[in-house]
Structure 1
């Protein structure tokens, strides 16, 4: 298989491979990843059957900046040139009559122009005699130097120059075009958003993990202001959203005005792909059959900006209070006034476990559940995610976006069974295992600053 040099944007390093593998699976081709591949580094050498596969990845993956046909690498230029000469069959066809441009750049460093010229001249054995065209060349040859971070080191740029970790060389195949969508879906430019709206880059990454595409039906059970609906619909999927609080989806609606989510969807030209928006509690949902959705993708509330709720009361009513409550409901109905049912907190570890079981019921075989789960980094162990799984649900990816003491994990789970399951019961009192997961009572730990007493209280 031909090798390709992937150059990534400097964000969300743990999301790189899961995104690539999801899009490769979506388009039905193989992506070969070496066992020693380090996704934290900005360059990866991966193998694909066809150059067209590289173009498909670059058109969809948010984290790809460039993809080059890989020619050579080395810890110094002597080693790189030896490898490049051994692969002359890759570049020799372009040497005689092709206009070209030579690019020399670095990661974590700025190469002086004088040394850039030296690097270019060191490739003179390639014998390129075509026109040098800096604006519209037929091919671009790129040389990349990878430096370790200089943070905390008492070194100057001059001292570091040339002391790179690795250098790479290749021919540009395609520039990543999907990153432009980050500006398209910028929350600041959106007609309708709220304090819980997901940032554009992350929502696009979730849409790729969800393998959103035309002919798919996708469900967001915690729709909120619709941040997940727009990129998913942009990629062609039909979207159904629900939330326990309809005000989040509606916003301030004027006369003859659609709900806020639909206004924003119209802004992006995808309003016709929003199937419906409904208000209900997922633990009291209206679904009467399973195997409905291709994907469930959501960002459950975890209490920092908005807490998760479910129908019910914190304290049971006395018989007198129950009678008075029934009379109030009847009075509101007779006066055509809205009745707002009471809600109570929905603890995050219960919510996450319920979400997995609900997804097993609602997903088609092979369907995916994609959601964010906040965790306390010091407490987290892999068993926290594994313990949420149930029969027929298998973990695909688990990527951390860190924020210091805590982080949120983008969890992707696939339904692997064809068996039919009854609707979940959503029992409030049940044993989720002996271990206290790092996401249990996350809200309380967050506002206590993740201090030891907060962790001990959560364990109790």
Structure 2
């Protein structure tokens, strides 16, 4: 199969492979990822069956900047030109009368203009006779030099020039069009958002992990201000959201106005794909049958900007107080006043385990659970994720967004069983085992500065 060069955006390197594999699965074709692939590098060589597959990937993957048909690569220009000469069948059809443009660029290094000209002239053996057109060329030829980071090194840019790790050469097939969605869903331009709203690039990456597409029904049990609703609905899926605090979804609009989430959905033209927004505690949910949703995707609250809550009281009250409380409820109903039930904190490790069990009950076979899990980097171990899994649920991807002493992991889990399971009980009297995961009591660790007590 022909080779292609994927040029990635310089962000979220750990999310590149999971997104690429998820989008390929969504589009219906398999990818053969090289075993020695390093996702932290900005370039990846990949075999695809056709240029059409490259265009499909670039039209959906948020982290792809462009895809080139790969003509050659090497550790130096001698190797590159030798490989390019051997692949004359790939580019000879463009040599006679095709207008072209040539670009030379470096990663982690700015190549001097004089040497850029020397690099271009080094390809004179290709005998391209077409017009050089910098504005509207028929093809664009690109040469990419990959340099290691110079951070912390006492080295000048002049000394560093030409000391690249690898050089690639190819023809542009397609520019990544999906990255334009980052600006489209920019929170600053949104009609309704809150202090817990997720940045647009991350929400789009989660939507790709969720395999959002037409005919899918996707659920967010911690909907909040609806950050996940908009990209999921934009990709054609039907969205259902819930939250224990309905004020987050409604916003401060008047009674005659639609909820804030729906107002923002109208801004993006996807309000008709928001099935409903409901207020309830996920541990006291109304679902009476399972296998409802294709995907559950969410960013659970973990206590930094907003804490996770569940119904209940922090301290038990005596029978006399219960009677008074019941009388208050009945009085509020009689006067048609809203009754706000008491809530208590929902510890993160319990929430994460409950979420996996709930997903096993609510997901269709093969469905995915996609969620963020904050962890203390120093305390994190791979077993932290494994201990959350239950029978029938398997790990698909685990990618870290690093913030230094802590990070949040985008975890993707698939329901790998067709068996039916009873609704989860969400009992608080559970034995989570002897292992203490890096995300247990995350809120307390965060405000303690991740220092020992």
* TM bracket (short chain): over 0.9
Q: Does 1:314 pair with 2:314?
A: yes
Q: Does 1:439 pair with 2:439?
A: yes
Q: Which residue of 2 aligns with 1:29?
A: 29
Q: Aligned ranges for residues 218-367 of structure 1 at < 5 Å?
A: 218-367=218-367
Q: Which residue of 2 aligns with 1:200?
A: 200
Q: Supply the distance in 1 between the matched residues of 2:209 and 2:433 (Cα, whole angstroms).
A: 28
Q: Aligned ranges for residues 13-24 of structure 1 at < 5 Å?
A: 13-24=13-24
Q: Which residue of 2 aligns with 1:390?
A: 390
How far is 1:397 from its partner?
0.3
* Number of equivalent positions: 453
| Partner-residue secondary structure (3-state), 1:21 | helix
How far is 1:431 from its partner?
1.0
Q: Aligned ranges for residues 143-222 of structure 1 at < 5 Å?
A: 143-222=143-222
Q: Supply the distance in 1 between the matched residues of 2:70 and 2:37 (Cα, whole angstroms).
A: 15
- How far does the alpha carbon of each residue in 1:81-107 deviate from its partner, in whole angstroms, 9 at most, with x for none? 111111111111111121111110000
Q: Supply the distance in 1 between the matched residues of 2:402 and 2:345 (Cα, whole angstroms).
A: 26
- How far does the alpha carbon of each residue in 1:277-305 deviate from its partner, in whole angstroms, 9 at most, with x for none? 00000000000000000000000000000
- Cα RMSD of the aligned pairs, angstroms, is 0.7
Contact 1:30 1:49 in 2 (8 A): no
How far is 1:115 from its partner?
0.3
Q: Which residue of 2 aligns with 1:457?
A: none
Contact 1:7 1:44 in 2 (8 A): yes
Q: Supply the distance in 2 between the matched residues of 1:5 and 1:300 (Cα, whole angstroms).
A: 36
Q: Which residue of 1 aligns with 2:43?
A: 43
Q: Supply the distance in 1 between the matched residues of 2:433 and 2:179 (Cα, whole angstroms).
A: 41
How far is 1:173 from its partner?
0.4
Q: Does 1:429 pair with 2:434?
A: no
| Partner-residue secondary structure (3-state), 1:301 | coil
Q: Supply the distance in 2 between the matched residues of 1:441 and 1:47 (Cα, whole angstroms).
A: 45
Question: What residue ranges of structure 2 are gaps of 5+ in the alignment?
Answer: none
- How far does the alpha carbon of each residue in 1:107-161 deviate from its partner, in whole angstroms, 9 at most, with x for none? 0111111100000000111111111111111111100001111111122211111
Q: Supply the distance in 2 between the matched residues of 1:112 and 1:396 (Cα, whole angstroms).
A: 43
Q: Which residue of 2 aligns with 1:375?
A: 375
Q: Supply the distance in 2 between the matched residues of 1:214 and 1:389 (Cα, whole angstroms).
A: 29
Q: Supply the distance in 2 between the matched residues of 1:336 and 1:128 (Cα, whole angstroms).
A: 80
- How far does the alpha carbon of each residue in 1:30-54 deviate from its partner, in whole angstroms, 9 at most, with x for none? 2111000000000000111111011
Q: Supply the distance in 2 between the matched residues of 1:377 and 1:423 (Cα, whole angstroms).
A: 33
How far is 1:15 from its partner?
0.2
How far is 1:3 from its partner?
1.1
Q: Which residue of 1 aligns with 2:448?
A: 448
Question: What residue ranges of structure 1 are gaps of 5+ in the alignment?
Answer: 454-460
| Partner-residue secondary structure (3-state), 2:101 | strand
Q: Supply the distance in 2 between the matched residues of 1:105 and 1:342 (Cα, whole angstroms).
A: 59
- How far does the alpha carbon of each residue in 1:383-403 deviate from its partner, in whole angstroms, 9 at most, with x for none? 000110111111000000000
Q: TM-score, normalised to structure 1's length?
A: 0.98
Contact 1:293 1:362 in 2 (8 A): yes
Q: Which residue of 2 aligns with 1:119?
A: 119
Q: Which runs of 4+ in 1 moved over 4 A?
A: none
How far is 1:255 from its partner?
4.1
Q: Supply the distance in 2 between the matched residues of 1:73 and 1:81 (Cα, whole angstroms).
A: 8
| Partner-residue secondary structure (3-state), 1:101 | strand
How far is 1:66 from its partner?
0.6
- How far does the alpha carbon of each residue in 1:196-253 deviate from its partner, in whole angstroms, 9 at most, with x for none? 0000000000000001001100000000000000000000000000000000000002
How far is 1:452 from its partner?
2.3
How far is 1:75 from its partner?
1.1
